[in-house]
Structure 1
């Protein structure tokens, strides 16, 4: 039967990027200052990936900051990061795509995230493109919370004002057992509530020796975790996990390759110790699949690695729906706000590396970290951050205050 096209009509669809501004739009992005900051570490750090020759020791952190201003004079500051490689590429990409959201209402955060995602679509859905988008996304959320006069956690709907906090400071593989014990003591003096040590050496007996030495050293009320940094295969991880099941670890982190969701799921089914992973995932799709497929007991998804606050909220909702706990990777300055909006108790990972970037400090006491009471993220870039800046680009009006 022939189709008579003259009598057929297809309903018009709204343009994906949205229609021209209506009465609800009362502001617009007027300018940004993008900066590439290289933050040096006091001492290069080595985990199992370095010991096996897969990576070089970590000596610096590359930060991409986005300082944004709107026509109504509102400001927001966001950032992205990478380790070892990619900082210059992320900065160049940020400068290239920033125009895509200029002039748009900064309150339309979800729509602006999609505009940036489609602008970088040829680079793939994830990876460097999404990590770069995270700088813009966090700046927009920072601005929105500041306009509301609320800490970001309160804007999102906080379930608590303090969260459990742990760290790995001094627990890397280059440290001796005595050095690890001393570092743990310093951390506990700071008010840290959990200690995570690195494992994954070629000699598993050495790992076990260090684990037992630290477990015996730590008070019983201090949580203890281990992190293999993706260095085991499935058989070895299961064998090692069964041996340490009696130690009472809070979790085993990244025993397998980050993308081996099936392998992590098998470990989660067969070990008593919770399996934590997800920090290396670089898209919300991966983060959601990890939880849907039972690939972890604890999701460690990193907000900036998957594209910022907007996709992290989706990943967090999926974790809640599947009764999976969260312990977001690194970035305590951001994750303290996001994890506070999660219904179940979460872990925050303490790293002092980023502290010199900001004028403010988080309050830590009695094993917990407090949500800041300052509006937005509650952060301003320090003079040191300006000194470590290797490149700057203004888009539209200067975004730096």
Structure 2
């Protein structure tokens, strides 16, 4: 286990209608404490320390999450990071991040982030019209103005070192290039473009399960072409950088592509141990482990099928995936997107045609540039 998602607050101050925590099958958030208790944090810290010592790991990442983690308040976050770091073996490093909707981000929280070297990821779906289509307050007001103010604060020279980047969920109703340019206006160091969560039983918006159309692939290709053709590039985009790396024989930096081993564990506010949070979008059972930090070690949890004990690699994929020419880059797509009720996860991604469209396009673009580089190198050698 190399990354721990720690839920420090189980509620949110926004009511986004595309949220994977509150708007999908798993509704157990209703039963959990709003705020993580100090003794739960202390037990998580003990489990984390013993795990690093047992496996001789010198580094681990913890992402403070929710709900909305900033609702926990600066004092709780300060105590949480102190407790986690104090429990690590000598010499081990703790990287800390927080993923927030941004509306509570202010100078006090940023001072805490500087004190503990906490990286800040913020969610934003584009300009005001695009973002406020989904990311709204419970009374229906849009959140864009408040998030934009937080991003301007985060982008100041004295705070920019703490900014990890923006997370944007794709909506086909939003023009891809307008979304991309509106996000670039905040000069983010990195973008994460996420496909909206869905599966074969509960398909994403405008994604007909089994249909050959590629609306999400077309959306992503438009952004890729603008991003790739701009020199120097104005930001990193994890999905595209990972895909280029995979096409060239490297490794993915995202679990949405390739054959990344599942190394993420989620701890809820009551100490329950679960796997990757995106499984909440499948059914109310896929996340259940029956394990918690008070009775079980992280090693025990890693043997559970919903964590690292689940099947991985090509042999875990559907037959059509194993026969696909883009398998090495796709890897079957995000695990949660393969789900079909009553039949598990041994299916292609519900986004299969979209992923194929994007991957083939990137392969052609990269191959063209690689060939041009080879010809240029050959011409240079011949002139010498």
Common fold, TM-score beyond 0.5?
no
TM-score, with length taken from structure 1: 0.36
TM-score, with length taken from structure 2: 0.38
**Higher percent of residues as strand:** 1
By relative contact order (CA 8 Å, sep 6+), the higher-ranking structure is 1
